[in-house]
Structure 1
Amino acid sequence: MAAASGLAIAFPGAAAKAEPLHGNWGSNSTASPVKGALLRFRVGRRGAARGSPRCEVKVNLEDKAATNIAALEQFKISADRYMKERSSIAVIGLSVHTAPVAMREKLAVPEARWPHAVGELCNLNHIEEAAVLSTCNRMEIYVVALSWHRGIREVTEWMSKTSGIPVSELREHLFMLQDNDATRHLFEVSAGLDSLVLGEGQILAQVKQVVRIGQVSGGLGKNIDRMFKDAITAGKRVRSETNIASGAVSVSSAAVELALMKLPKSGSDSARMLVIGAGKMGKLVIKHLAAKGCKKVVVVNRSVERVEAIREELKDDIEIIYRPFSEMHSSAAEADVVFTSTASETPLFMKEHVEVLPPASEDVGVVRFFVDISVPRNVGSCVSNLESARVYNVDDLKEVVEANKEDRLRKAMEAQAIITQELKRFEAWRDSLETVPTIKMLRSYADRIRSLELEKCLQKVGEDALTKKMRKAIDELSTGIVNKLLHGPLQHLRCDGSDSRTLDETLENMHALNRMFNLDTEKAILEQKIKAKVEKIQN
Structure 2
Amino acid sequence: MTILVVGLSHRSAPVAVLERAAVTGDDLVKLLHEVNDSVHVAETLIVSTCNRIEVYAVVDKFHGGVSDISESLARHSGLTLDELSRHLYVHYEDRAVQHAFSVACGLESMVVGESQILGQIRTAFKLAQAEGTVGRDLHELTQQALRVGKRAHAETGVDQAGASLVGVGLQVAAGHLGDLEGRHALVIGAGSMSALAVSTLARAGVGEIVVANRTLERAVRLAEGSEVPARAIELSDLTAALDEADLVISCTGATGLVITADQITYNRRERFLLDLALPHDIDPAVRELPGVALAGLDDLRTAEEAAHAVGPRAVEAVRRIVADEVAGFLSAARAAAVAPTVVALRSKAADVVDAELARLSGRLPALDERDRAEIAQTVRRVVDKLLHAPTVRVKELASAPGGDTYADALRELFDLDPKAPEAVARPDIEGSTS
Q: TM-score range by the shorter chain?
A: 0.7 to 0.9
1:284 aligned residue: 196
2:416 aligned residue: 519
- Structure of larger gyration radius: 1
Instruction: State the shift of 1:307 in Å.
Output: 4.0
1:219 aligned residue: 133
Tell me which protein shows more helix as a share of its residues.
2
Corresponding position: 1:260 with 2:174:
yes
Give the Cα separation in 1 of the matches to 2:153 and 2:267: 40
Give the Cα separation in 1 of the matches to 2:182 and 2:302: 23
Corresponding position: 1:475 with 2:382:
no
Instruction: State the shift of 1:194 in Å.
Output: 1.1
2:268 aligned residue: 361
Give the Cα separation in 1 of the matches to 2:404 and 2:259: 60
What is the alpha-carbon root mean square deviation over aligned residues? 2.9
1:488 aligned residue: 389
1:44 aligned residue: none
Contact 1:304 1:322 (8 Å CA) reproduced: yes
Of 320, 329, 347 in structure 1, the residue corresponding to residue 230 of structure 2 is 320
SS at match of 2:58: strand
Mapping of residues 32-181 of structure 1, within 5 Å: 87-110=1-24, 117-181=31-95
Contact 2:184 2:207 (8 Å CA) reproduced: no
Calculate the TM-score normalised by the size of structure 2.
0.87
Mapping of residues 358-397 of structure 1, within 5 Å: 358-362=265-269, 364=270, 368-384=271-287, 386=289, 389-397=292-300
Instruction: State the shift of 1:468 in Å.
Output: 4.2
Instruction: State the shift of 1:117 in Å.
Output: 4.0
Give the Cα separation in 1 of the matches to 2:369 and 2:128: 50
Contact 1:492 1:509 (8 Å CA) reproduced: no
Contact 1:111 1:134 (8 Å CA) reproduced: no
Give the Cα separation in 2 of the matches to 1:312 and 1:118: 34
Contact 2:20 2:77 (8 Å CA) reproduced: yes
Of 282, 292, 296 in structure 1, the residue corresponding to residue 208 of structure 2 is 296
SS at match of 2:396: coil
SS at match of 2:411: helix
1:432 aligned residue: 335
Contact 2:107 2:315 (8 Å CA) reproduced: yes
Corresponding position: 1:347 with 2:261:
no
Give the Cα separation in 1 of the matches to 2:354 and 2:132: 38
2:427 aligned residue: none
2:240 aligned residue: 330
Of 399, 421, 426 in structure 1, the residue corresponding to residue 324 of structure 2 is 421
1:196 aligned residue: 110
Contact 1:258 1:399 (8 Å CA) reproduced: no
* Closer, same or farther: CA 295–420 of 1 in aligned 2, 3 Å: same
Calculate the TM-score normalised by the size of structure 1.
0.72
* Closer, same or farther: CA 120–303 of 1 in aligned 2, 3 Å: closer
The letter for the 2-side match of 1:484 is K
Give the Cα separation in 2 of the matches to 1:272 and 1:240: 35
Alpha-carbon deviations, 1:465-522, whole Å to 9, x = none? 344444433433332222122112212210389xxx8444x4454333333223363x
Contact 1:450 1:478 (8 Å CA) reproduced: yes
Give the Cα separation in 2 of the matches to 1:485 and 1:271: 77
Of 223, 240, 245 in structure 1, the residue corresponding to residue 154 of structure 2 is 240
1:186 aligned residue: 100
| Number of equivalent positions | 424
Alpha-carbon deviations, 1:413-468, whole Å to 9, x = none? 01111112211211111111231232133223222222222222222223xx3444
Structure 2 unmatched runs, 5+: 425-434
The letter for the 2-side match of 1:177 is H
Aligned-pair identity in percent equals 29
Give the Cα separation in 2 of the matches to 1:111 and 1:236: 27
1:231 aligned residue: 145
* Closer, same or farther: CA 247–222 of 1 in aligned 2, 3 Å: same
Contact 1:428 1:495 (8 Å CA) reproduced: no
Structure 1 unmatched runs, 5+: 1-86, 529-539
* Closer, same or farther: CA 247–329 of 1 in aligned 2, 3 Å: farther
SS at match of 1:456: helix
The letter for the 2-side match of 1:394 is L
* Closer, same or farther: CA 118–310 of 1 in aligned 2, 3 Å: closer
Of 252, 277, 301 in structure 2, the residue corresponding to residue 398 of structure 1 is 301
2:352 aligned residue: 449
SS at match of 2:395: coil
The letter for the 1-side match of 2:230 is I
Alpha-carbon deviations, 1:175-222, whole Å to 9, x = none? 111122111111111111111112211101112223334444443222
Instruction: State the shift of 1:92 in Å.
Output: 0.5
The letter for the 2-side match of 1:222 is R
Contact 1:428 1:496 (8 Å CA) reproduced: no
Instruction: State the shift of 1:406 in Å.
Output: 3.8
* Closer, same or farther: CA 375–406 of 1 in aligned 2, 3 Å: closer
Contact 2:211 2:223 (8 Å CA) reproduced: no
SS at match of 1:275: strand
